[in-house]
Amino acid sequence: MSKDISQIDKNLAVPAEINAPDCVFHNVKEEPFEIYGLYNAKSEEIFRRLPESNAKAISDGVEKLHIHTAGGRVRFSTDSEYIAIRAIVPSVTHFSHMPLCGVAGFDMYVSRDGHDVFEKTFVPPYGMTDGFTSIYHFGDRKMREITINFPLYNPVNSLYIGISDDAALSGGRKYKYEIPVVYYGSSITQGGCASRPGNAYPAVISQKLECNHINLGFSGNARGEDAMYDYIASLSMSAFVYDYDYNAPSTEHLEKTHERGFLKIREKQPELPVIFVTAPNDDMKNIQRRNNRAVIMKTYLNAVERGDENVYFVDGASIFDGENPNSCTVDGCHPTDLGFLRMARGIGRVVAYVLEK
């Protein structure tokens, strides 16, 4: 008979209540909080990654997934000795191969010397159905610049931040690059199967480079639809990372959609840096992996031949290179935190180059 591990190891227990009588909760949709990576976040009824009308026009899958809050962040500053959160969720997504703290948890970073440094994961309790409350004590009181990442694979209706009633509260630190880098791709782009939100590769790049970003990863549903390209082309971007190889159902589908999508975006944004990425998989004996890579390379080379100087190519076949490459995925496809770190290293190097040009 299975047993709750927290009854055996108390260190793995997740408190269901907070003990802070002076705690006051503030709605992140109100001032002075600043929300990044989510569409029109302060006026929409729930948190979304793109407008509901656009999501519906793209596909049923994107409509369902656009309320998963991957890439969402709230930033603020406070001198409270503790930070609490209260999250209201309509449902909980469950994975066999991704922890609940990555699927539905939040994680917090504190600015140190101009860089976001991981501080705490707000871990949902086992069996959560409609939200949770969690608290973290710093142990001292001083002004801190805070970033809290939203869940990767779960909808969030409301989020409240709790601080002591006498604490100062003000807006968060601005990004060095406020115009976002936009990522479009598969479950990997969305963050499956990171252990917590801040370990998805777009978030890791954002932390290192201090750049705002928008995560348009749609698990199993990045299919290169014209309506998606139209939406992406309408966005203000500092760079575009084009990463949907894994979700193309066939090489023929990729051939029909990949260059066409690039050209639609290029027509609207002729100077936008575009970074082409192939699937992070070195199995070049796999015919589809090899052929897909060739299709993406062709889109890149065609652009170069046309004189396009704002295109870049990242070869996913070598992205997990380094010590213990076999530890880079959970299941041969979805990255572990080590895999995401290697992706952030390979892709982030190019993002840094185009941002600093």
For the residues 215-241, what does the mean pLDDT come to? 98
For the residues 202-207, what does the mean pLDDT come to? 98
Would you say 319 and 343 are in contact if contact means Cβ atoms under 8 Å apart?
A: yes
What pLDDT score was predicted for residue 3? 58
Would you say 171 and 76 are in contact if contact means Cβ atoms under 8 Å apart?
A: yes
What pLDDT score was predicted for residue 283? 77
Would you say 90 and 101 are in contact if contact means Cβ atoms under 8 Å apart?
A: no
Whether 16 has a pLDDT exceeding 90, the answer reads: no
Residues 193, 335: Cα–Cα separation, whole Å: 6
For the chain, the farthest-separated pair of C-alpha atoms sits apart, in whole angstroms, at 66
Beta bridge partners of 134: 85
Whether 2 has a pLDDT exceeding 60, the answer reads: no
pTM for this one? 0.95
Whether 12 has a pLDDT exceeding 60, the answer reads: no
Q: β-strands 274-277, 239-243: how paired? A: parallel
**pLDDT tier at 286, thresholds 50, 70, 90:** confident
**pLDDT tier at 18, thresholds 50, 70, 90:** confident
Residues 17, 20: Cα–Cα separation, whole Å: 9
Q: Which amino acid is at 207?
A: Q
What pLDDT score was predicted for residue 324? 93
What pLDDT score was predicted for residue 193? 97
Q: Please tell me the least confidently modeled range out of 60-74, 154-168, 219-233, 270-284.
A: 270-284
Q: Please tell me the least confidently modeled range out of 27-36, 87-96, 264-273.
A: 87-96
**pLDDT tier at 319, thresholds 50, 70, 90:** very high
**pLDDT tier at 1, thresholds 50, 70, 90:** very low
What pLDDT score was predicted for residue 9? 56
Question: How much is the mean pLDDT over the chain?
Answer: 94
Would you say 255 and 89 are in contact if contact means Cβ atoms under 8 Å apart?
A: no
Whether 103 has a pLDDT exceeding 50, the answer reads: yes
Closest CA to 311 of 254, 265, 251, 342: 265
